[in-house]
Amino acid sequence: MGESLSRRDLIRILGASGVAASLGGVSAASGAEEQSTASGEEFLGTVIQPQAVQPTGTCAGLVGGKVIQPRRELPVLGQTDVLVVGGGTAGVAAAIAARRAGAQVTLVERYGHLGGQWTGGLVLVVVGHIVRSGKQVCQGIGEEMLRRLDKLDGAIIDRKPGVNPTVDAEALKYVMVEMVQEAGIKTLLHCWGVDAILDGGTVRGAVFESKSGRQAILAKIVVDATGDGDVFAAAGAAHRRCKYNIGLVSRIGNVSQVDRARAAGAREPRGLGARTPVVGVRWVNMLGPEADGLDVSELSRLEINHRRFIWRSVEKIRNTPGYEAVRLLETAPQLGVRITRMLHGVATLTVRDFRAGARFADVVAVGGAAGINHGEWQIPYGALVPDTRVENVLAAGRCISAELRMADMIRVIPICWVTGHAAGAAAAVAVADACPVREVNVAKVQQLLKQQGAYLG
Amino acid sequence: MHPDGKASFPDEAVPGGNRWRRRLARCAVLAAAVMLLLPGWPCDWALLAVPSLSPFVAVPAAIAVRGVTCATLLALPVLCLAILWPRCFCRWLCPTGLLVELAGRCRGRGAGRGARLPNVGAWLVALTLGGACLGYPLLVWLDPLAIFAAAANTAGGQVARGAWLAGAGLPLVLLVGLLWPGLWCARICPLGATQDLIALPVRAVARGRQDKAKPSANWPMPRRTVLGMGLGGLAAAGLRRVAGAARPGRLRPPGAAAEDALSGLCVRCGNCARVCPSRIIHPDSGRQGAESFLAPAIRYDDAYCLETCVRCTRVCPSGALRPLAAEEKPSAAIGLPRVDMSLCLLGEDRECAICRTHCPYGAIRIVFSEADYLCVPRVDPRRCNGCGACQVMCPTRPAKAIVVYPP
């Protein structure tokens, strides 16, 4: 009986969709053949026109042995004041800052979660926000995230003055989504920013690849929080490229079940990592070799090698007497790419300034240091603005303008959140004043940042 | 003031009117010497002036390093003065002499006992000259001007652990002056003896003119000087062997002479420690060899040797530190760091490259070992000059994972 009923149902559904489609002015001629395989009463999915997803006839072609991508018009997904490309630490902070300042914001992220390296990369420890005296100098939106984690049960540990706290990745993903939703930010996940949209020397938006194909979003200001500087590089802003250590973080569980009595005497195995908010779970860092984080074959090779090493490392731990219960819980969804591109900005952060604690009139962020012997250091607005005449794009996060030797200072989580916060605030001011980011009134940005809880020295 | 003082005071042979004039001059010189060694001079040359005036430092040092420095040239006028008017420097200029004399006068009556001593100073000079011929001027650190400078430097600048010892020479000399007035200046002071020795040929020639019968008998080099030089040479050879023997050794300032020569060349004036902006030069404790006691040693506690600074090398009066040009600094190696992977945070897969970040010469790379799947800091000895920035910044406590060792 199922057979005939099912067919009848199917025809009914097809008919309904055909009416809907014709009302919408779209031809409904196709589709019956493809959908005929669907069967069963439980099938209630709505049939979608394939063209609505991906325009046909625009794929690459082989022309004279070369692969040619035909010229085509891209669908425009929307228009916004501030477009933040990259939903990592810097991107989320930038989006929230700009939205709270009144700008329309769209945030796009290549993975299915927010937080980037902080969550997907399992960089769980927050390092670089405190100085010698124990004072926390990275405040603002990032600190707000930590305070929200404080309120959740088991979401953060070591939240004491002068100590580097460790967060739980899942709790942080939740907190970030909540904050983004509360602020009213249009968020697109699974969207990989691949190109800038240029109009003369001015960036007018960005192009994305996703399951929906290649689409564009137009914007007044683009914040490049990709970490790799994908947008400013595509727009032609000067930058340096470098190789840096690429690792893969993992988490191991059941460490609380280690039999201390049996383990006594034996040397503690390597790779037990540091504790996390989850009891018995530890996160294990990896530095990895220096490699080009923009070379997909390198990334693939490293991902494979790193996974192999992690598995064997955990096997070694499990073979140590007393440690048999230890299990590998997960390897980080994102490879630990540290530095790839660094902007050539109007200003460049140098180790000399960092050591001297140089102060800038256009300071928009302040960084701390990981337990070592120095005080706070300032980040000028110029370090976010491209030196070359590429307008209306701001860098945020680990790709801002700095000497390579400063990379270890700028790539840490708190510096990403303060530079993101600064870029978002500056973008909002630029939108409100209808001026290019290069000519933004920095005093206004500083005032806005302070209103939003940032510390500027 | 005390006309009953002994004739060993250089003061006494002079008629009363001249004595006041001379006393005034000596006080002025003392004041000038103190002024030169006070902090606050815009250039370091002021510090160099006092210990460099001594021919007892300049001549043996020039022989030992087989070269002449700017500091050596400063002693030339004093040398000429000594030939023309023997002991003129002692009478008119020596600041240490004035202080010793004042100390002696504190005793008042009955002073001068125990002053019956052979001419120790002449032996000191002979030994030092003999040592200098072998590159190790044994006793230049007994120079009264160096002793004066060391005391002033200790009082005026460096107050590091053990630094007071470096300034203890002057109090000791004053104590000698207090106990046996006149003994130091007349019998022990090697600078005084140097002047006598320089004046010898002049006197011999003068005497030879008077007594033409026996010119050769008055040849100026007394036998004990030759003997002393021989002994000095032997001692120097022995000490150089001891000092240069394979031991861990200490870090020395940039441009320092080889370890087996440094302890002999250094006059322990403390100028280098005084001018060091990082305050990393300390007097050697002598624990790793008594011969290098109070010689300059570097300790990287909380500051490193600045990449553009060559100040210590510019204030050394004796060539123990070769004067460097700023461009030479990167190649003037102080030492070479070694990494202890059992302490290094990278050994625990922790996120750290602070040594690389802070290396002013870009000499540190973090190298990945495929076999151990581990990153290790590696130092390029061709770029590194051992400035200690890595050691200072290394976050491990209390022992540092990266430590600079002598080359």
Prediction pTM value = 0.79
Across the interface, whether the CB atoms of B373 and A309 are under 8 A apart is answered yes
Centroid of chain to Cα A228: 10
What is the pLDDT averaged over residues B143-172?
Answer: 77
Contacts of A286 in chain B (CB under 8 A): 349, 373
Contacts of B370 in chain A (CB under 8 A): 289
pLDDT at position B151 over 50: yes
pLDDT score for A210: 94
Interface check B355 vs A, CB under 8 A: no
Q: How confident is the model at residue B113 (pLDDT cuts 50, 70, 90)?
A: low
The pairing of strands A202-210 and A192-199 is antiparallel
Kindly tell me if the per-residue pLDDT of B397 is higher than 80. Answer: yes
DSSP secondary structure letter of residue A434: T
Q: A61-76 pLDDT, tens per residue?
A: 899 999 998 888 999 9
pLDDT of residue A86: 97
Q: Which sign, positive or negative, has the C-alpha torsion B73, B77, B82, B84? A: positive
Q: What is the mean pLDDT of chain A?
A: 89
Beta bridge partners of B378: B365
Which of the four pLDDT bands, split at 50, 70 and 90, describes residue A36?
very low
pLDDT at B275 over 80: yes
Q: Does B302 touch chain A (CB under 8 A)?
A: yes
Please name the residue that has the structure tokens 């008042």: B108
Which residue reads 């897969």 in tokens?
B349
Chain A residues in contact with B362 (beta carbon < 8 A) = 405
Provide φ and ψ at A32, rounded to 5°. -60, -40
Contacts of B304 in chain A (CB under 8 A): none
The pLDDT value recorded for residue A20 is 45
**Listed range (A96-100, A425-429, B64-68) with the worst mean pLDDT:** B64-68
Rounded CA gap, A47 and A32, in Å?
10
Counted across chains A and B, CB pairs separated by less than 8 A come out at 50
Answer whether residue B217 shows pLDDT above 50: no
**pLDDT of amino acid B338:** 94
Question: Which is more confidently placed, A251 or B89?
Answer: A251
How far does A13 lie from chain B, in Å, by closest CA?
Answer: 58
Tens-digit pLDDT profile for residues A243-273: 999 999 999 999 999 988 888 877 888 889 9
**Residue B11 scores a pLDDT above 50:** no
- Name the residue with tokens 């008594």: B290
A326-A332-A333 Cα angle (round to 5):
135
CATH fold match for the domains B248-330 and B335-405: yes
Lowest mean pLDDT among A328-342, A363-377, B305-319, B349-363: A363-377
Q: How confident is the model at residue A32 (pLDDT cuts 50, 70, 90)?
A: very low
pLDDT bucket at A41, cuts 50 / 70 / 90:
low
DSSP H or E run through B99: helix B95-107
Q: Minimal Cα distance from B342: which residue of A?
A: A270
pLDDT value at residue B2: 38
Helix (H) or strand (E) holding B138: none
Q: A192 forms bridges with which residues in the sheet?
A: A209
Per-residue confidence (pLDDT) for residue A18, from 0 to 100? 47
B269 at A interface, C-beta within 8 A: no
Residue among B302, B349, B395 minimizing CB distance to A287? B349
Cα B92 to Cα A212: distance, rounded to the nearest angstrom: 98
- Answer whether residue A325 shows pLDDT above 50: yes
Tell me: pLDDT of B69 over 80.
no
* pLDDT, mean of residues B242-265: 80
> Which residues neighbour A261 within 8 Å (Cβ) at sequence distance 6 or greater?
A322
Maximum mean pLDDT: which of B11-20, B116-125, B374-383: B374-383
Contact residues on chain B for A408, CB-CB shorter than 8 A: 353-354, 356-357
Higher local confidence (pLDDT), B101 or A318: A318
CA angle, A90 as apex, A84 and A96 as ends, to 5°? 60
Beta-bridge mates of residue B338:
B403
Distance from C-alpha of B295 to C-alpha of B273, rounded to nearest angstrom:
10
Top mean pLDDT of A305-319, B203-217, B361-375 is at A305-319
pLDDT greater at residue B287 or residue A441: A441
Contact call for residues B273 and B281 (beta carbons, < 8 A): yes
Region A370-394 average pLDDT: 87
d(CA B87, CA B83) in angstroms, rounded, equals 9
How large is the greatest C-alpha to C-alpha distance in chain B, in angstroms?
Answer: 90
What pLDDT is recorded for position A262?
85
Torsion-angle region of A158 (φ positive above 0: left; ψ -120 to 50: alpha; else: beta): left
Question: What confidence category does residue B1 fall into, taking pLDDT thresholds of 50, 70 and 90?
Answer: very low
CATH topology of domain B335-405: Alpha-Beta Plaits (3.30.70)
How far apart are the C-alpha atoms of B144 and B193, rounded to whole Å? 12
Cβ contacts of B81-85, under 8 Å, gap ≥ 24? B82/B55, B82/B194, B82/B195, B82/B198, B82/B199, B83/B198, B83/B199, B83/B202
Are A408 and B357 inside 8 Å of each other by CB?
Answer: yes
pLDDT above 90 (res B105): no
Half-sphere exposure of B141 (CA within 13 A, CB side): 24
Delimit the domains of chain B by residue range.
Answer: 10-240, 248-330, 335-405
Which stretch of A348-362, A402-416, B189-203 has the lowest confidence by average pLDDT?
B189-203
Partner-chain contact B395 A372, CB within 8 Å: yes
Highest-confidence segment of A275-289, B59-73, B111-125, B223-237? A275-289
What is the ipTM, given to two decimal places?
0.77
Q: What is the pLDDT of residues B277-322, one digit of tens each?
A: 888 988 887 777 778 888 888 999 889 999 889 988 988 888 888 8
User: Tell me, what DSSP letter sits at residue B329?
Assistant: G
> Is residue A367 pLDDT above 70, yes or no?
yes
Burial of A284 (0-12, 13-18, 19+ CB in 10 A): buried
The predicted pLDDT at position A187 comes to 97
* Annotation: CATH topology of B248-330: Alpha-Beta Plaits (3.30.70)
Using CA atoms, how far apart are residues A425 and B32, in angstroms rounded to an integer?
A: 62
Question: What DSSP designation does B188 have?
Answer: I
Confidence of residue A132 (pLDDT cuts 50, 70, 90): confident
In chain A, which residue's Cα lies nearest the Cα of B370?
A289
Task: Return d(Cα A25, Cα A30) in angstroms, integer.
Answer: 14
Question: Rounded mean pLDDT of B336-342?
Answer: 93
Token pair for residue A425? Answer: 């605030």
Q: pLDDT tier at A99 (50, 70, 90 boundaries)? A: very high
Chain B residues closer than 8 Å to A370 by CB: 395
- Is the predicted pLDDT of residue A343 greater than 90, yes or no? yes
Rounded CA-CA distance B405/B337 in Å is 6
- Under the banding of pLDDT at 50, 70 and 90, the label for residue B179 is confident
Residue B116 has pLDDT above 80, yes or no: no
Confidence of residue A33 (pLDDT cuts 50, 70, 90): very low
Shortest CA distance from A407: residue in chain B: B357
pLDDT digits (tens, 9 = 90+) for A16-30: 444 444 444 444 444
* pLDDT-based confidence at residue B17 (cuts at 50, 70, 90): low
- Tokens representing B15 are 């008629």
Residue B40's pLDDT is what? Answer: 72
